[in-house]
Amino acid sequence: MSGRRSFRTHTSIRTPASIALAGALICTAAACSAPDAETGTPDRSQGPAANTSPFWVDPDSSAARQVKEWTSQGRTDDANQLKKISERPIANWPAGDNPVPDVQRVTSGAAKEGRTVVLVAYNIPHRDCGQHSAGGAADGGAYRGWLDAFATAIGNAPATVVLEPDAVPHIVDGCTPGVHHGERSELLTQAVERLKKQPKTQVYVDAGNPAWITDPGKLVDPLKRAGIAKADGFSLNVSNFQRDEAVTAYGKQLSALLGGAHFVVDSSRNGEGPLPGARADAWCNPTGRALGKPPTDRTGEPLLDAYLWVKRPGDSDGECRGGPAAGTWWPDYALGLARKSR
């Protein structure tokens, strides 16, 4: 594995007094919020939540625009609830045949604040086995061109890239036909190598979640063929709802099988865990879910590099349970996630 680099953009001296103060107040340039005595979360009536992570908050995200719209309409309570999403760092998923405009916008915005941007490269051919997020590049050549443009647009900016959610697990579960396995592994390896040419880019190859590939040993060889040795690690729970404890335990098992590989966890919507029951569509816009742990690189786990919000809370999983097309902003679902969150 390549050496782990710190996500932090600055170094601070943490004295006992400063630690106590940090625990008592959560501050931004605009305001400070005292934690709720029972939950330890900020009282939102006293001001916005602080971004204490090294990751960039997009001021023009779908959630941020929705907050402005609802505020102008007098829906103040709903707008304040949605700030639980709009004021947190969320990954950007560059769409379409040309990723450059999206990547350049977010990297330039993050650079102005000295923060790290989180990106998702999601355009592998035969993506999602023809399901809700079907599509991707037309062929291997198109994908290589797309990925090269993606990496070039990052430039020297600090970036964390989650590489091709589901691509490796779909090899393992047989959803992706065997005829495509060799090409997919080759493309993923080439993607890792290309992205790692950018001097401040970290790459995590996606490895699904513990409720999907229940035996982590089945992922080892496919991840090795996908270039995990040259990446910074693997990602878990992307767009899913498994609880942090279960995902972390699974990550440690997989790490041990990969010689100590590091990993990141998507905690964007797992505050209430997965939908109860073994339902085939439990992953698709399940009701009653909640936001999870805010993004941070202070995980308390040596192998766990960060909790990230990889899935954008409020973006639909697909046309199920009344949702719009996959990846489409769904404000009512976003509001439900926020209201269920402490």
Q: Is 128 an annotated catalytic residue?
A: yes
Tokens of 93: 């998923």
Q: Amino acid identity, residue 185?
A: S
Per the DSSP assignment, residues forming a β-bridge with 307 are: 265, 296
Would you give the DSSP letter of residue 49? Answer: P
Which of 9-47 are b and which e, b meaning 16 or more Cβ less than 10 Å from the residue's Cβ? eeeeeeeeeeeeeeeeebeeeeeebeeeeeeeebeeeeb
For the beta carbon of residue 324, count every other beta carbon within 10 angstroms. 14
Pairing of strands 32-33, 117-121: unpaired
Determine which one of 128, 232, 297, 315 is catalytic: 128
Evaluated on CA atoms 150, 305, 19, 14, the torsion sign reads negative
Q: Is 166 an annotated catalytic residue?
A: yes
Determine which one of 58, 206, 305, 317 is catalytic: 317
Determine which one of 58, 78, 166, 266 is catalytic: 166
Q: Is 173 an annotated catalytic residue?
A: no
Would you give the DSSP letter of residue 333? Answer: H
Q: Which residues belong to the active site? A: 128, 166, 317
